[in-house]
Amino acid sequence: MIEQVDNANRSRIGVDVGGTKIEAVRLDASGLVCESARIPARPGNEAVIEDIVSAAARVCGGDFQHVSSIGIGTPGRVDHRTGHVDNIVNLSVTSLDMGPLVEACTGVATHVENDVNAAALGAAAVLGGTQGLPGTVAFLNFGTGLAAGLVQDGAVLHGFSGAAGEVGHIPVEPHRFKCPCGQYGCLETVCSGSAVARLWPEADPAMPDLIRRARKRESKAVDVLDMVVRAIGDTIQIVAQSVDPDVIVLGGGMAKTGKPLVEVITSELRRREGQCRFLAGLDLPGRLRLAPLDRPVGAIGAAVAV
């Protein structure tokens, strides 16, 4: 009985590994953030492990005895079963037993999850309160790349090989730009944050300026925005018709554009509905939500990942 009480009072730590920073949170027994910390990220295997452990230690005062679990959300190819990670390009990591090494340093059970999946869990938790959002949640990460995190009743949908949600590399975009993955016409080549910056290099960040100038009917801006928003519409439609989520959360750097981004996406989806009774019945605009950008959803999601 005493052990059960102790476990109930233990907290969980979540760590979000990024290309430039590592952010950690500690959740109390009720799932609320009670501590947070952020440190710069350094490249290399040893530095990444040291920094994850350091960030985690900061949110628990260096005392891991009262921590029940550590969750890590990271870029790269993640084997969530073993905690092994390959190819974190921005941190010069090609192969790393991240989970086992962090667990060895802290003595705490450690789980590693893809960063978009972790953000999907975090967004579902924040938007839905302590119980999370019910049903299926699709988190579309319009960041440097493009990917979706899929959560069903609080659990990540990984698929057979862990590739569920990799919509950015579906080669259906008609301009057929070369993608770093080797294909041509991947959705990521047009509607990721890096793609928009390439297509509209006149401002940083690109998306707010692109929308503003397109609304002024500047022809070049209109053409580029049309290309980007059509690809976003394709992405949303592919995800919606594949997994039929209750909620579609827009996240990543492009989502910082906020309401203007939702407005142009909604306009594109309504245009499609006007041509297709089937789509009109799905009411995809009604399912859209913006990710809570003022909350560390990546770290929160890592903490609740199992």
Q: Where are the domains of the chain?
A: 2-108, 130-290
Q: How confident is the model at residue 201 (pLDDT cuts 50, 70, 90)?
A: very high
C-alpha to C-alpha distance for 70 and 270, rounded to whole angstroms: 43
C-alpha to C-alpha distance for 285 and 200, rounded to whole angstroms: 26
C-alpha to C-alpha distance for 141 and 252, rounded to whole angstroms: 5
Q: Which pLDDT tens digit goes with each residue over 170-179?
A: 999 999 999 9
C-alpha to C-alpha distance for 123 and 132, rounded to whole angstroms: 9
Whether residue 189 contacts residue 195, with contact meaning beta carbons closer than 8 Å, is answered with yes
Whether residue 42 contacts residue 51, with contact meaning beta carbons closer than 8 Å, is answered with yes
Residue 151 makes CB contacts below 8 A (sequence gap 6+) with: 117, 120, 121, 124, 133, 136, 137, 138, 139, 157
Q: Where are the alpha helices (DSSP H) in the chain?
A: 2-9, 45-59, 98-106, 115-128, 188-191, 193-199, 206-215, 219-243, 259-275, 277-282, 297-304
Q: How confident is the model at residue 133 (pLDDT cuts 50, 70, 90)?
A: confident
Q: Which pLDDT tens digit goes with each residue over 248-267?
A: 999 999 999 999 999 999 99
Joined tokens for residue 229:
């928003």
Backbone angles phi, psi at 222, to 5 degrees: -60, -45
Q: Supply the pTM of this predicted model.
A: 0.92
User: How big is the CA angle at 240 (ends 161 and 305), to the nearest 5 degrees?
Assistant: 50
C-alpha to C-alpha distance for 284 and 244, rounded to whole angstroms: 10
- The CATH label, of 3.30.1300.10, 3.30.420.40, 3.40.1190.20, 3.40.50.2300, for the domain at 2-108 is 3.30.420.40
> What pLDDT, on a 0 to 100 scale, did the predictor assign at position 128?
85
Q: Which pLDDT tens digit goes with each residue over 22-68?
A: 999 999 988 899 999 999 999 999 999 999 999 999 999 999 999 99
| Cα–Cα distance list, 270 to 57, 65, 241, 247 (Å) | 48, 53, 16, 17
If you classify domain 130-290 with CATH, what class do you get?
A: alpha beta
Whether residue 35 contacts residue 59, with contact meaning beta carbons closer than 8 Å, is answered with yes
What does the pLDDT average to over 184-212?
97
Rg of the chain taking only CA atoms, in angstroms: 20
